Structure 1
Amino acid sequence: MAKYSKKEKSWMMYDWATSAYSVVITTAIFPIYYKSVATNAGVDPSQSTAFLGYTISISTFILAMLAPILGTIADYRGFKKKFFVFFFLLGTLSTVGLVFVPSDQWLLLLVMNLLTAIGARGANIFYDAFIVDVTAKDKMDDVSSRGFALGYIGSSIPFVISIGIIILAQTGIIPLSMTAASRIAFFITAVWWIGFAIPLIKNVKQIYYVEREPKIIVNSFKRLGKTFKDIKQYRNIFLFLLAYFFYIDGVDTIISMSTAYGTDVGLSATDMIIALLAVQVVAAPFAILFGTLAKKYGAKIMLYVGIFIYTFICVYAMFMDSAFDFWVLAMLVATSQGGIQALSRSFFAQMVPEEKSNEFFGFYNIFGRFAAVSGPFLMGVTTQITGSSSMGIFSLIILFIIGFILLTFVQKPDLSSVNREETDVSV
């Protein structure tokens, strides 16, 4: 880490901070806890999985609708950090709120989870956009991949602590119910998230911006409209976004629905949690490997590799019926999960005009989040129609194939860049 600047390290540390939320709330403990609460309330397992998918879709739809205009406003001087902090607080405080939801209120639990998702993903719009303010274009693949690697390592610590508490409660070694143990995990996640976000809030600032002007909201809509009028100028960017829309849809859906799917095929919570912990450990070096290989072969080639692996995952998941199969699936995800997300972020950042980074990352978010609406919805509908979660996850293969084809038409970004100066750059 010594070769990175203070701003780069502070930016990376937010991955360390927020990845605990991604693992505990999005992927592992919360879905299992929710499924348990819903089952105790008499909800059919396949139906509760579908409702979880719909909740994810609703939260991401709301944010996706707001993202472009929020991003355009945030390009004005001083707004990027304010928007980041607002969504950051919404996410962390809502995560604390999960602790206080009564154990028989499965619908209220979904509503609170919806708020945590809006907060976490909203903050990530502006966090991702900050990459143009902290490093040069030719270092973005490396910095972005390193951030994801730190995220996997950092999230493992609160995850291990949470798992330890749950296992000790499950075995009766400590006098806690599973409900209490899960709530402690939610609280630990919030504290971790808040604590390690401080370096970014303190040390990272908006270098590229548009000077403020009267009627900011009105002019933001005008600037947004101008971008659409000039879409031919940004054809390559929007073509990448279209490809990203499809393949990241599958990635996010597999991440968010994996434990619910595992529950439906009869896997124990212990099997799934331990496998997911292993994913965090294995994914860290693979994220760095993707960044390293991107230097040699290019980010676009490595995105192809990630898409191919996820396509195979969809096929393999259709036949999963044991803990061993879930382990194989988890390790396959670990090889490419961080890499495909990190390189998508840096590949896009290398293409966008720095002074309009928030506006374009607003589009990046809307394409990614609308994808996150359609993916869980597709899986939920397919599961309900067929009565099989296996068919639901297999249906995601369509998204990876379309994403791969579209990506072939995207031109590589120009990596020529100059070193960052400490002075602000305005337009």
Structure 2
Amino acid sequence: MEHLKKGSKKLLNAWAFYDWANSVYTLTIASSIFPLFYGTLFTSEDETIAAFGFVMKPTVLISIITAFTFLVVTFTSPILSGIADYVGNKKNFMKFFCYLGSFGCIGLYWFSKESIYVSLLFYFMGLLGYWGSLVFYNSYLPDIAFDDQQDQISAKGFSLGYIGSVILLVANLGMVMTQETGAEKVEMMRYSFITVGIWWLVFSQYTFYVLPKGVSQGHKVTKDVLFNGFKELKMVWFQLKQNLRLKRYLYAFFVFSMAVQTIMLMAVYFGEKEIAWLDDAQKTQGLIVSILVIQLVAILGAVLTSKASAKYGNIKTLIVVNIIWMLLCFYAYFMITPVQFYIAAGFVGLVMGGVQSLARSTYSKFLPDNTEDTTSYFSFFDVAEKIGIVIGMTVFAVVDQISTMRNAILFLFIFFLIGIVLLFRVPKHGELN
């Protein structure tokens, strides 16, 4: 493959195209069909499940497994990113996690209560593969794009992801809704998991073909390199003390991200359990339509957020977006009817794509000048995000187990409020000294 210069249109488009490949996981597995499928495994509203020596609500079990997966990502990504930076082969690690996630999605076809541990292993593989690959995917951004390109190409990546995932979801929706019996619908849901794995596997190949192997090359891995990632994180933490703007932004991101990701991971489970649907048919159709609304509006949201950040600045735009998220938590606590759920879905879509793309590009812009080991900085960014998700999902699971999902959603209101306060404390260029 020819060497493409930084800022090359072909290189940027190839990077953004990975969002097209992997976003089908977040839509079909994390956000829509899998939560619906998971709900069909339990015949009554108050049914519990025994696993790992405990008896718990099904939603609590999936929350705990999700939190555990992010904990694994948190501790493994520094090691792997350290190796990737040292050896210069971040693309190989990105490939590994991509393939792990793809095969995990395919394995969900055999998900069942009777083989709950193997089933949860496939769920774990899919989630680990998705987030593990993003560590290295995100770290490419400052390597391939100049500062003035990063907001736009980041938004383009998310937009491609939304479009691609909606296309596959519509196909999956056709597979499910054209079946007559409940058993046939469930079987088509299982087949949809296979389509996600294959889509992710196939479309990622163009990105892998075009992206460079890494920034530096030629080093061999030794035992000292295994813990180089943690040394790099320590170095990044030390440098953060010298970069007030980046440090304060990271604090804010840590807090609001835990709430955003928890809501995105648990929204359909909430809709499936807490909204007063007329029957199972309306529930299935209504939830999938809501997810489609979210994805379509999110395309507009990502574009509008990019334009707003260019005009008003990244931090001011993030503050407004977080205020909307905060109000949505309050609104969700009182929502009961499907119509109310659809309204919430529209607003979630508007701010979902915006907060993700802008959070990523803002961090990239705040990195120190002439930074070469970008993987370590983005590993730190991802570690902060993952620890936040672990805390958010754990808090959500605990409140859900002892109370209700409504109270768990309302509790996330606090995280957004704190995040907004912290964003106000991020200094501008002229206030850095």
TM-score, length-scaled by structure 2: 0.88
How far apart, CA to CA, are the structure 1 residues paired with 2:251 and 2:374? 18
Paired letter, 1:298: G
Counterpart pick for 1:123 among 122, 130, 133: 133
In the alignment, structure 1 residue 365 sits paired with structure 2 residue 382? yes
**1:311 to 1:211, Cα distance in 2 relative to 1, 3 A:** farther
Single out whichever of 320-329 and 229-238 deviates more from structure 2.
Answer: 229-238
How big is the shift at 1:99?
A: 1.4
**Does 2:386 correspond to 1:356?**
no
CA distance in 2, matches of 1:100, 1:361: 35
Matched with 2:159 is 149
8 Å Cα contact 1:69/1:362 also seen in 2:
no
Alignment of 1:382-397 (within 5 A): 382-386=399-403, 388-397=404-413
Give the match for residue 288 of structure 1.
303
Question: What is the aligned partner in structure 2 of residue 26 from structure 1?
Answer: 30
Matched letter for residue 286 of structure 1: G
Contact 1:71/1:360 (<8 A) preserved: no
Which residue pairs with 1:74 in the alignment? 84
Contact 1:306 1:340 (C-alpha < 8 Å) held by counterparts: yes
Identify if the C-alpha distance between structure 1 residues 71 and 411 changes in structure 2 by more than 3 Å, giving closer, same or farther: farther
CA displacement 1:25-74 (0-9 Å, x = unmatched): 00111111112114479833981111111111000011111222322222
CA distances 1:154-197 after superposition (whole Å, capped 9, x unpaired): 1101100111111112x35xx97223101111011111111221
In structure 2, distance between residues paired with 1:179 and 1:413: 54
Task: Give matches, 1:212-251, under 5 Å.
Answer: 212=219, 215-217=224-226, 219-251=228-260
Match of 2:3 in 1: none
User: Does residue 159 in structure 1 map to residue 153 in structure 2?
Assistant: no
1:100-115 matched pairs, under 5 angstroms: 100-102=110-112, 104-115=114-125
Rate the CA distance shift 1:218–1:48 in 2: closer, same or farther, 3 A: closer
Q: Which residue identity lines up with residue 17 of structure 2 in the other structure? A: M
Deviations 1:103-125 (A, max 9, x none): 64344333321111011100011
Q: Aligned AA for 1:31?
A: P
For residues 374-407 of structure 1, the C-alpha deviation after alignment (integer angstroms, 9 at most, x for no partner) is 1121111112222x21111111011111111112
Letter in 2 for 1:400: F
Is the 2:111–2:119 contact (alpha carbons within 8 Å) kept by the matching residues of 1? yes
Partner letter of residue 237 of structure 1?
A: L
- The 5 A counterparts of 1:256-405 are 256-265=265-274, 266-267=276-277, 268-353=283-368, 354-386=371-403, 388-405=404-421
Return the alpha-carbon distance in structure 2 between the equivalents of residues 320 and 413 of structure 1. 42
Change (3 A) 1:39 1:133: farther
Q: Deviations over 1:188-212 (max 9, x none)?
A: 1111111221121011115644873
1:149 deviates by 1.1
Tell me the residue number matched to 2:207: 200
Preserved contact between residue 317 and residue 329 of structure 1 (Cα < 8 Å): yes
What's the secondary structure of 1:410's corresponding residue? coil
Q: What RMSD in Å do the two structures reach over aligned CA positions? A: 2.3
Partner of 2:150: 140
Show CA shifts across 1:291-328 (max 9, x none): 11211111111111210110011000001111111101
Structure 1: distance between partners of 2:157 and 2:9: 13
Look up the SS of the partner of 1:355 in the other structure: coil
Do the aligned partners of residues 271 and 223 (structure 1) sit closer, same or farther apart at CA in structure 2, a change above 3 Å counting? closer
Unaligned stretches of 5+ residues in structure 1: 415-427
**Equivalences for 1:2-81 in 2 at 5 Å?**
5-39=9-43, 43-44=47-48, 47-81=57-91
Measured in 2, the distance between the counterparts of 1:326 and 1:126 equals: 35
The count of residues paired between Structure 1 and Structure 2 equals 408
User: Do the aligned partners of 1:74 and 1:83 also contact (CA within 8 Å) in 2?
Assistant: yes
> Counterpart of 2:271 in structure 1: which amino acid?
G
Higher mean C-alpha displacement, 41-50 vs 121-130: 41-50
Alignment check: 8 A CA contact 1:57 1:372 kept: yes
Distance 1:224 1:301 in 2: 28
1:119 & 1:235 partners in 2: Cα distance?
33
Change over 3 Å in CA distance of 1:286–1:107 after alignment to 2: same
**Equivalent position amino acid for 1:345 in 2:** R
Of stretches 370-379 and 220-229 in structure 1, the one that deviates more from structure 2 is 220-229
Q: Classify 1:221/1:121 alpha carbon distance in 2 versus 1 (closer, same or farther; 3 Å).
A: closer
Of 174, 184, 192, which residue of structure 2 is paired with 1:177? 184
- Say if 1:121 and 1:30 are closer, same or farther in 2 by CA, change over 3 A: same
Matched residue SS, 1:361 = helix
Change in 2 beyond 3 A, CA 1:282/1:226 = closer
Deviation at 1:225, TM superposition (A): 3.5
User: Matched residues in 2 for 1:167 and 1:101: separation?
Assistant: 20
CA gap of 1:211–1:99, structure 2 versus 1, over 3 A, is same
**Cα distance 1:43–1:109, how it changes in 2: closer, same or farther (>3 A)?**
farther
Q: Provide the identity percentage.
A: 29
TM-score using structure 1 length: 0.89
1:212 and 1:39 map into 2 onto residues whose CA distance is: 56
Superposed displacement of residue 412, structure 1: 4.8
Please give the alpha-carbon distance, in whole angstroms, between the structure 1 residues aligned to 2:291 and 2:201. 23
Deviates more, 1:24-33 or 1:277-286: 277-286
Question: Do the aligned partners of 1:282 and 1:334 also contact (CA within 8 Å) in 2?
Answer: yes
Whole-Å Cα distance in 1 between the matches of residues 306 and 377 of structure 2?
23
Contact 2:136–2:375, Cα closer than 8 Å, also in 1: yes
